[in-house]
Amino acid sequence: MSAGRRGRRARTEAPASARKVDYRNLRNPFPPMAAFSEDRIEALHEASLSVLEELGIKVLHPGARDLYRQGGARIDGEMVHIGREMVEAALASAPKSIRMRGAVPDRDVVLELGRMAFQPGAGCPHATDLARGRRPGTIADFRELVQITQSFDVLHMVPPLVEAQDVPMHLRHMAMTEVELTQSDKVPFLYSRGTPQVMDGFEMIRDFRGLSDAEFRAQSWCYTIINTNSPRTIDMPMAQGLIDFARHGQMAIITPFTLMGAMAPVTVAGAMTLSHAEALAAITLSQLAQPGAPVCYGTFTSNVDMKSGAPAFGTPEHFTASLVAGQLARRIGLPWRCAGGSAANINDAQAANETQFGLWGCLLAGATVTIHAAGWLEGGLTVSYEKIITDLEVLQMVAELCAGTPATDADIALDALREVPPMGHFFGAAHTMARYQTQFYEPLVGDWSNFGQWSERGAVDANHRATGIWRGIVDNFEPPPMDPDRVAALQDFIARRTAEGGAPPES
C-alpha cells in the first residue's frame, strides 16, 4: 500500500484504491538531456584533472594525505596533487551498481545509472508546520518526519531531515539512528562527524539488522553524505568518514556543495569543473582506502543572488548544472546524486515552482538519487511538513510516469469508439467500466472539486489539506515489524554509550 492512500483515507475515509503501482523500483523514463557538447564535457573533465594535478586539493587529515601519498600523489604541506592516472584507477575500481540494503529486501535500493531514488530534504536546523509554527528541530520532529518518510513508497531512503537540536551533539547521532531504525525499514543515514560516532552507528545498524561483522561489511546497509569544503578542501571529519565508510563497505555519497559566484566560479562550466574535481578527489580517497568501496558521485550546484549573496535553488542555472553533472556522471559511469530545493520562506507558489523546476533538472540529468526532493524551504534552513506532502504529489506523479502506459489494441479501444455515438459519453461504456477503478493516478493532496463544493467545504488550500494528511500519518503511525529483543538491545547500547560519555563530534 502506498501511504499516499493511507493519508487520504485518514482524511476522507474513502475506500482504498484498487490501483497498484510499484513506486519502490523506479527506472528513469526521461530522455537524458545535454547542456554542453560532448567535446566540452571532455574539456571540463580534463580541466578538473588539471585542477587536481596542478592546483591540488587541501586535505586536512594526515591519514588521508598518507593514503594519497601511497597512491602516488605529490604532497606539499596540506596540499595534495593528484595525478590523472590515480583518478582513472579509482574510477575503474569504484562499483557501477550498488545494492543498498533496507531492513527487508523489498526496501533495498539499487544505485546505478538509469535507476531513480528520491529523498526528502535533509540537514535542516528548523522544522515548520501550520499547526505548531517554525521552531528549532527536535528529536520528536525527526521522529515524525521519519514516520512520514516511511509512509510513502516514493521516498526510498531516510535522510537526516532535521537536526535534533534538543539532543546534545555527543548523543545526537545515537538518538537519530535509533529513530531511523525503529520508525522505518528503509536505508538509514549516518553523519560523518568523526570515527567514534560513525562506529557507534555501524554497530547499532549491524546489531539491529542481526548481522555478523562480515555480513555487515559485505554489503551497504547505510550511507553518509560527504560535503567537500569548496573550493578545494576536504576537512577532517569528511576525510575520516570517507575512509571509515570505505573500509566498512558502506556507502559514501560525495557531494561538493558549490554555489556559483560564492564558493565556485560564477559560470556553470567553472562551478562544475570545481565540483567535478572535488568529487573525483574524494572518490579517489575512498578507493585508496578500500578499492571497490561503494561510492556515489554527487553534485549540488546552484547559484547565488549576486546582489545579496543569498543562495537560490530551482533556477535555470541550477537546472543546467544538474544537466552537466549528469553528462559527467555518464562520462565516468558511476551512480550519482543530484538535488532539488527551494529558497522560498513558506510553501507558496514560489516554493512549489522552484522545487519542481529543480526536480526536472535532476530527472532530465538522469540522477540516480535526488535529494531535497520534498519539504526543503529557505535553502535548507527549514523542513516543512506540509511541503513534504505537496512535493510528494509531484514525486508520485513522476513515479507514475516510470510505470509506463500501455498501448495495446485493447487500449486503443476501437470497440469503445464504435460503442459511443457522436457527442455521447464514455462514462458507462464497457471499456470504461472494466478499467475506471484502476486507470488513473489518485491525487494525494490535490483537490479537483469545483469552486462551489470547495468553498462549501471551507475553501481549504493545499497546505492546510497537507496538514491533515501528515497529522493522519503521525497519529496513526505503525512502525514496520521488528524484533523487540533487538529494539531492547538497541536501547541498551545507547544507555551504555551514554553512560560512557557518548561520542563528541570531531572537527
Binders of a second copy among residues 278 to 337 (CB under 8 A) are 303, 305-312, 315-317, 319-320
Q: Which is nearer to a second copy, 37 or 491 (CB)?
A: 37
Site for a second copy in 230-289 (CB under 8 A): 230-233, 260-270, 273-274
What is the nearest approach in angstroms of a second copy to the Cβ of residue 472? 18
d(CA 380, CA 373): 11
What is the nearest approach in angstroms of a second copy to the Cβ of residue 259? 9
Does 357 engage in binding with a second copy (CB under 8 A)? yes
d(CA 197, CA 504): 7
What is the nearest approach in angstroms of a second copy to the Cβ of residue 141? 17
Q: Which is nearer to a second copy, 14 or 92 (CB)?
A: 14
| Options 191-199, 281-289, 395-403, 497-505: segment touching a second copy (CB under 8 A) | 395-403
Does 422 engage in binding with a second copy (CB under 8 A)? yes
Q: What is the residue-wise DSSP string for 223-266?
A: EEEE--BTTTEE-HHHHHHHHHHHHTT-EEEE--EEEETTTB-S
Provide the grid cell at 21. Answer: 503501482
CB proximity list for 257: less than 8 A, separation 6 or greater: 227, 228, 230, 300, 301
State which of residues 16, 22, 37, 247 lies at the interface with a second copy (CB under 8 A): 37
What is the nearest approach in angstroms of a second copy to the Cβ of residue 482? 34
Cα dihedral across residues 431, 432, 436, 442: positive or negative: positive
505 preceded by cis ω (within 30°)? Answer: no
Provide the grid cell at 233. Answer: 578542501
CB proximity list for 461: less than 8 A, separation 6 or greater: none
Site for a second copy in 425-484 (CB under 8 A): 425-427, 429, 431-432, 435-437, 439-441, 443, 445-451, 454-455, 459, 461-463, 466
Nearest alpha-carbon partner for 94 in 243, 293, 281? 293
| Options 51-59, 145-153, 478-486, 495-503: segment touching a second copy (CB under 8 A) | 51-59
Give the containing element (helix H, strand E) for 99. strand 98-100
Binders of a second copy: how many residues, by CB under 8 A? 125
Task: Return the exposure string of 103-134: e unless at least 16 CB atoms fall within 10 Å of the residue's CB, then b.
Answer: beeebbbebebebbbbbbbbbbebbbbbeeee
Does 33 engage in binding with a second copy (CB under 8 A)? yes
Q: Which is nearer to a second copy, 187 or 365 (CB)?
A: 365
CB proximity list for 92: less than 8 A, separation 6 or greater: none
Does 194 engage in binding with a second copy (CB under 8 A)? no
CA contacts within 13 A on the Cβ side of 45: 20
User: In a 3-state reduction of DSSP, which class is residue 497?
Assistant: helix
State which of residues 166, 203, 207, 348 lies at the interface with a second copy (CB under 8 A): 348
CB proximity list for 235: less than 8 A, separation 6 or greater: 60, 61, 229, 507
State which of residues 3, 26, 51, 325 lies at the interface with a second copy (CB under 8 A): 51
Backbone phi and psi for residue 312, each to the nearest 5 degrees, phi listed first:
-130, 150
What is the nearest approach in angstroms of a second copy to the Cβ of residue 111? 23
Q: Which is nearer to a second copy, 43 or 482 (CB)?
A: 43
State which of residues 67, 344, 367, 469 lies at the interface with a second copy (CB under 8 A): 344
What is the nearest approach in angstroms of a second copy to the Cβ of residue 24? 17
Q: Which is nearer to a second copy, 318 or 497 (CB)?
A: 318
Site for a second copy in 60-99 (CB under 8 A): 79
CB proximity list for 39: less than 8 A, separation 6 or greater: none
Q: Cα separations (Å) of 147 from 74, 143, 183, 475?
A: 48, 6, 6, 10
Q: Which is nearer to a second copy, 187 or 280 (CB)?
A: 280
What is the nearest approach in angstroms of a second copy to the Cβ of residue 204? 33
User: In a 3-state reduction of DSSP, which class is residue 311?
Assistant: strand
Q: Give the other-Cβ count within 10 Å of 72's Cβ.
A: 12
Q: Which is nearer to a second copy, 34 or 211 (CB)?
A: 34
What is the nearest approach in angstroms of a second copy to the Cβ of residue 303? 5
What is the nearest approach in angstroms of a second copy to the Cβ of residue 150? 22
Contact 183, 143 (CB under 8 A): yes
Which residue bears the cell 580534463?
46
State which of residues 382, 388, 468, 497 lies at the interface with a second copy (CB under 8 A): 382
| Options 48-56, 113-121, 237-245, 478-486: segment touching a second copy (CB under 8 A) | 48-56
Contact 169, 237 (CB under 8 A): no
Site for a second copy in 133-172 (CB under 8 A): 134
Q: Which is nearer to a second copy, 443 or 501 (CB)?
A: 443
Give the containing element (helix H, strand E) for 371. strand 369-371
What is the nearest approach in angstroms of a second copy to the Cβ of residue 256? 13
Does 47 engage in binding with a second copy (CB under 8 A)? yes
What is the nearest approach in angstroms of a second copy to the Cβ of residue 262? 6
State which of residues 148, 394, 490, 503 lies at the interface with a second copy (CB under 8 A): 394
Provide the grid cell at 260. Answer: 556559483
| Options 188-196, 212-220, 223-231, 238-246: segment touching a second copy (CB under 8 A) | 223-231
